[in-house]
Amino acid sequence: MKAKPEMAQIISPKMSELSAEFEALQQNTKEKGERLFDAKRADLYEQSCDDIDGFVTDLERQIEAEPIGNDLTSVNILMQKQQMIETQMQIKSAQVNELESQADHLRKMTPEKTEEIEAKKALIAQKFESIIQPLELRKNELLLKKEVFQVKLLTIRFGKKLI
**Which CATH entry fits the domain spanning 5-158: 3.40.50.300, 1.10.10.10, 1.20.1050.10, 1.20.58.60?**
1.20.58.60
Opening angle at CA 72, ends 81 and 65, nearest 5: 45
Close Cβ partners of 98 (under 8 Å, ≥ 6 residues apart): 48
pLDDT for the residue 156: 79
Q: How far is it, in rounded angstroms, from Cα 128 to Cα 132?
A: 7
pLDDT for the residue 142: 92
Task: Please report, in tens digits, the pLDDT of each residue of the chain (163 residues total).
Answer: 778 888 888 888 888 999 999 999 999 999 999 888 877 888 888 999 999 999 999 999 988 887 778 888 999 999 999 999 999 999 999 999 998 888 888 888 888 988 988 899 999 999 999 999 999 999 999 999 999 998 888 887 777 554 4
Q: Where are the domains of the chain?
A: 5-158
